[in-house]
Each structure stands twice: as C-alpha cells, then as structure tokens.
Chain A
Amino acid sequence: MGYDWHRPLESQTLRFTLLTFLAIVVGGLVLLIPPYFMQGTVETIEGVRPYTALELEGRDLYIREGCNNCHSQMIRPFKAETDRYGPFTMAGENVYERPFLYGSRRTGPDLSRVGGNYPDSWHWIHFRRPQDIEPRSNMPSFAHLYRWPLDLSLTQRKLEVLRTLGHPYADEEVRDAVAEAQAQAAVVVARLRDEQGIQVSETEAGSEIVALIAYMQRLGTDVDLPPIESARAGAAPGRP
C-alpha cells in the first residue's frame, strides 16, 4: 500500500483544489441545508411575536455593549438549569432572533427568561452599579446608558428590514415605529416614577437605559409556561 496514486495529484493544482473543495463542502451541505426543510426543526409556538420597536432598540443596545459575551440566552434541558432559569429553550421561541444570542460563556446568569423576574426599579439600580445590589458581582457599570439619548432615527428602517426578512410587522407598526417606541418608553418611565418611586430625570427618561430595561422585561415572556415547582429557598430562578 503505497501512495504513488497521490503523486500525480500533487502536481495537478486544479484537480487538487477541486477535490479539496469537495472534501470541505459535504459537511456543511448535510448539516446546514436539511434543517431548513425538515419538519420539526422549528415547531411554531403560539404567542411568539417579534419585538416591539423599543424592545428591538434595547436588544441592539444589548449587542452594542457586548452583553452576549457574558450572558447566555439558552437554557439546557437539565433539572439544575430549568430550576435556576426556567423551562429549557425551544427553537420556536427563537424565530425572531436576528442574530441569535445563545452566547457561549456564562460569566453572568442566563437571561432568556429574565423578563418579569425583577421590577424595572431593580434593573434601574442594577445597570447603574451592579455592586449596589450584589457586592460580589463582577459586572461592569453601564452608567453611560443613563446619559446617552436613545437614538430612534433608524428604528423605522430597522422594522422595514426585519419585515423584509419575514418578521410579521403590520403596516402601522412600521409607520408609527418611533411614536410607538416613545409611547412604550413613557410607560416604563411612568412605572419607575409612580409605582416604584425612582427619581428619573428628563435626560434619563429619554436615555438608552429605558430601551434596555424594556428588552430585559420582554425576555422569555412570550411563552406561557408552568411555574417552576422545585425552586426553593435561596436558589429561586433567576435570583443571582
């Protein structure tokens, strides 16, 4: 068993390159194409809808600040994970995730079902200085988000692009994107001020942090899932 058969190939650049291409292309074809067409890859889940204009802006801020480098949004089907974070992630929940934000490293806890776990005021205090809530936390401060005004100049265009990609936004949602974002922001600010007693300045009311909190509170709330029974005492779900 020699390798003489291979010698001619080593002097035929074109043939060698074509064979190399064949060798590298097969795996991708098998793994990437069929999931698109196979039934059951993504099962439709009722209640899953695209992000609102404000939540979308919040999600883009999450990406801008690189939150996905420390927080996963993918719960695995183990008791320890579902006890801590809630029901495991299903493909049908992620159909409007562009890009996906599963993450690869949990420096901080999973956030895929954090929505509603804490009041807005908790996020308000926490984002400014996480150590005020948990002294052992190694999360950075995001105080600049309270100063930087929320930029809605691209919001309508973003919804248009996502609609082109298949997200089912209604005509009014796209047309009134900015107004709807401002209206939802006003609701968040009013809740902070009136119900939770947070002093929100006018600058802060128009700042990026409002969008990020709206996004946080949306995460995982599309799916109505049974409450977690086995969580107890100090280790309730999502409690860091």
Chain B
Amino acid sequence: MTFALPAETTRADGEQTVRSYLLVRVSHERYTILGTDVREVTRWREPVPVPGSPPVLPGILNQRGIILPVVDLRLLLDLPVSPPERTTRYVITHRGEVDLAFLVDEVIDLVNLAAHQLEAIPDGLDSQQSRLLQSLTRLDDQPVAVLELEAVINTLQNGF
C-alpha cells in the first residue's frame, strides 16, 4: 500500500515559514525528510540485489515502472541494522535528477516545522552523521535530526 504526500507543503504562517516534513525512525533514532523531496512511501519488499554493490545499496526496486536504487539509511547513518519488520518502509524521494528509495524502520508522521524550531548542528556530533544533517529540532521533547537530502546525495556520489 502506498500513499502520496502533498506536492506543495510550504505555507506562510504569519512571518514564519512552515514546512512539512516526513518523520521517520531509523534504527533507534528519529529523523525528518523535507516533504517536498518525498514522492511517496511504500511498504518494504525484497529488493533485487546487484552483485558487487556495497551493503548501503542493497539492491534495486520497481516503483511504478521506474527502477530505483535502494539506500539503507541505517548504514549510511552508521546505525544498527535489524531485519525488516511490519513497519519497515521505503521513502521514495526525488531531488534534481536523482530518484531514490530510502529504507527506514518506520514512517511515523507528517509534521510541520517553523524555521524558529530548527537549531544548528552542534559541533560535537559525529562528522559522518553531521554532514548529512541540515539542522536539529525537538518533537514531543525528543531530539529529531533534519536530513539534508542534497548532502545525502552528495555523500552517495562522492564516497561513504
């Protein structure tokens, strides 16, 4: 089962710009992905493996006639990996010329975040992780990292 996200999720709310983000769980951590980068979310199914591909790229997937590379976000973020469960999902993204299927452990919700809710990445954070993040925020009093899809794609293109 799949569901489509709103195509345009940015709106002016007084003087603050509010954007919609997809809130996901990756291993034991929570991240958000900008809603306008997300095409849809779909249930996990076994990807077709490509011999010689690194573990972070476990295979390819047919999504509505388009063959997409699968990116295991857990490995990219250097987080523990567990077998697929009922909640495991692919987040299908589109940015520039690149379409990807990100494997996440759970899609939790669609959330709205205003600019003032986003904080800079602290210096002490692991550099592998921090270069993939745009900012940090808090939801339900828990920390949540905002993924920077452009940085993720650059990392995939230039080395990991």
A and B from one assembly? no
Interface residues of A (CB under 8 A from B): none
Interface residues of B (CB under 8 A from A): none
